[in-house]
Amino acid sequence: MKSKKISKLDKIRNLHGGYWRYGFLDFYYLFNSYFPNKKIYEILRDELPILAPNYPSTQRVVAKSFSKWNKKKYFNENNLIISNGSSELITILNKLITKIIIPIPIFNEYTQLPPKKKISFFLKETDNFQMDIDQLVKMIRKTRAGFVVINNPNNPTGNMVERKDIEKILKTGTMTIVDEAFVDFCKEYSVEDLVPKYKNLVIIKSLTKTMGLGGLRIGYLLTINEKIKDKVRKYLPIWNINSLAERFIELFPNFKKDYENSIEKTIKNRNSLFKKLKEISYLEPYEPFANFIFCKTKISSRKIAETLFRKHNILIKYGLNQENLKSDKYIRIGVRTKKDNDKLINALKEIIK
């Protein structure tokens, strides 16, 4: 029996990284095209001979350094756990969870729990996958689940949950994990300032997508819940942050304004890209809040992805196979520079010629 031939596109997707080797234009993974800036790279380059051979600091030292990013009293080394990307934290939390409500669709890492631990809360396609908070609260009370997770903005749909609605969830008493990986693109929705008010609030944040740090792998957990912090720390290795990432953490406060400017540039590019995607006849883009745009397609999403990759050397995300997403009807497009975005738009226009 002949084995099924795997396309070049599928081979690339199955690598889950290392894309710098292949020279295509990457709209699949999500990052900041304007940060870190040239000055930060120059410092890290010059210090690499010192950083590479030396062990990084332990968690407490790194967390204290990280606490300088924010002057709020609750943002301190006792309440912070710095991680090797948010995936490390999600993996650890999955070990601690007994029963969790997971809105679907959501970031794939949250769906990796065994079925006996998961309670799926399906967001309706007919409602554009918007969260029905009242129904979610009813499910929390009915199931008495110990945990619930909210991706805000949601990945892959980009939808938002209002602060007042997250407080409704918090008031149930259920341990609430709020993943704010993309919230720097819509800061008014962040609930990080509610951390000192609610012991059942756990903030998880990846810096990969907003800061362009996919390779350095930095994320953090913020909570005042001592039990959660103690359990998570027990699973962390003594050195989970490398020296290069630690040095970036030390440098960042001096470049905060540059970072804010990079967010503004990305938002400007995103809004322009959204407007142009709306003019593509076979796409229905959702209103974006992050640095990506989720689109419903009127033609095969795989055909779109294959054509872009084969003819234009452009990679996008398709095949969103979570239970209530029809895999051939949706794509997700990352936001890049205006020049790159225009290349994508021109390529998309050619598909229907």
The pTM of the full predicted model, rounded to 2 decimals, is 0.95
Strand runs labelled E in the chain: 25-26, 80-83, 100-104, 118-122, 147-151, 175-179, 201-206, 219-222, 283-285, 292-297, 314-315, 317-318, 330-334
Give the pLDDT confidence score for residue 353 in this predicted structure. Answer: 60
Mean pLDDT by 10 residues, the chain (353 residues): 69 90 94 96 98 97 98 97 96 93 93 90 93 97 97 96 98 98 97 98 96 95 98 96 98 98 98 98 97 96 95 92 75 97 97 76
Residues 6+ apart with CB under 8 A from 127: none
The upper half-sphere exposure of residue 44, i.e. CA atoms within 13 Å in the direction of its Cβ, equals 18
Q: How many whole angstroms from its chain centre is CA 3? A: 35
Bridge partners, residue 81, by sequence: 221
The upper half-sphere exposure of residue 94, i.e. CA atoms within 13 Å in the direction of its Cβ, equals 17
Q: Which domains does the chain have, with CATH numbers?
A: 8-37+257-351 (3.90.1150.10), 38-254 (3.40.640.10)
- Closest to 235 measured CA to CA, from 57, 81, 78: 81
* Residue pointed to by tokens 């990846």: 206
Spatial distance between the Cα atoms of 235 and 176, rounded to a whole number of angstroms: 20
Spatial distance between the Cα atoms of 206 and 221, rounded to a whole number of angstroms: 9
Give the pLDDT confidence score for residue 1 in this predicted structure. Answer: 43
